[in-house]
Amino acid sequence: MRDKRMTADEVVAELADGMTVGIGGWGSRRKPMALVNAILRSSLTDLTIVSYGGPDVGLLCAADKVRKLVYGFVSLDTIPYDPWFRRARETGSIEVLELDEGMFQCGLRAAGHRLPFLPIRAGLGSDVLRLNPELRLVRSPYDGEELVAMPALHLDAALVHLNRADRHGNAQYLGPDPYFDDLFCLAAQRRFVSCERIVETHELTADAPVQTLLLNRMMVDGVVEAPGGAGFTSCAPDYGRDEGMQREYAEAAGDLSKWPTFYEGYLR
């Protein structure tokens, strides 16, 4: 079996300007921040970011990496709004596809199933459809009901962070929620997982039920050992969110005079 271990910088070296990159986790929870930080340090640009957005989105906006953002929300959970995302929107510096969060999941599923779309009711009657006229309706051939034909959200690459993995790409979440990390991987051409610790395969199920194995190795191209690699977002049960660090981030993001000092310290 292949050994897929690599570094965060090697992951970023496999990405290219203009790519569509999906980022796992949810809000300020289990975000692959070590991989995001490697993007921040790189020369990558012009990315389309697909994310249930948290500080990953804010930081990538801050570093001017984002051409387009596909999202259902951007929030830091304990702090409702991300200041950098707000600034990017309020200055019109990014293109957006803003979706209902169920439509977002539906689009990932369609891509993972190699379907052009999947039907869903969410979106009907709302401004999701008015603002995004490329989203089309489809009529049920069985009873004539009109539904949203949510198009597949195809990803060039997916970045996710889990608690444990083996060197082959079998990866495990130990917290309460898998979020949508498996769907991101299934929707992507290239799939990279960072984890708190790389362990031997047999150790994965030594103390945890087999149902925690969210990703298997055919869903993963590269594995990065990155202890603390979701910080400052949460990575239960290994650690909770670093609320102090998140507050520092949000305060600096909200005050451009404080940002350069914060950002320099953050990337170091």
Partner 1 sequence: MSDVTRAEVCAVACADLFAGAGEILASPMGLMPSLGARLARLTSEPDLLLSDGEAFLLDPESTVEGWLPYRRVFAVVAHGRRHVVMGANQIDRFGNQNISCIGDHARPSRQLLGFRGAPGNTINHRTSYWVPRHSPRVFVERVDVVSGVGYDHAVGPFHDVHRVVTNLAVLDFRTPDRSMRLVSVHPGVEVSEVLAQTSFPLEHNDFGETRLPTDEELELLRTVLDPAGRRDKEVPS
Point out which residues bind partner 1 (CB under 8 A).
26, 53, 71-75, 80-81, 85-86, 89-92, 98-103, 105, 120-128, 130-131, 145-146, 176-180
Query: How far from the centroid of its chain's Cα atoms is residue 207's Cα?
Result: 28
Q: Least distance from C-beta 113 to partner 1, angstroms? A: 15
**What 3-state DSSP class applies to 53?**
strand
Q: Least distance from C-beta 12 to partner 1, angstroms? A: 27
Q: Which is nearer to partner 1, 181 or 225 (CB)?
A: 181
Q: Least distance from C-beta 95 to partner 1, angstroms? A: 10
Q: Least distance from C-beta 123 to partner 1, angstroms? A: 5
Q: Which is nearer to partner 1, 53 or 229 (CB)?
A: 53
Helix pair 33-41, 259-267: axis angle to 10 deg: 110
Residue pair 124/134 in contact (Cβ under 8 Å)? The answer is no
Q: Which is nearer to partner 1, 37 or 51 (CB)?
A: 51
**What 3-state DSSP class applies to 234?**
strand
Max Cα–Cα distance, the chain, nearest Å: 60
Q: Which is nearer to partner 1, 67 or 167 (CB)?
A: 67
Residue pair 35/224 in contact (Cβ under 8 Å)? The answer is yes
Q: Which of 12, 14, 36 is closest to 23 using CA atoms?
A: 36
Residues 43-53 as b/e (b if ≥16 CB within 10 A, e otherwise) read ebeebbbbbbb
Q: Least distance from C-beta 96 to partner 1, angstroms? A: 8
Residue pair 21/157 in contact (Cβ under 8 Å)? The answer is yes
C-beta atoms surrounding 73 within 10 Å: 20
Q: Least distance from C-beta 17 to partner 1, angstroms? A: 25
Q: Least distance from C-beta 43 to partner 1, angstroms? A: 28
CA separation for the pair 224, 216 (Å, rounded): 15
Residue type, 31: K
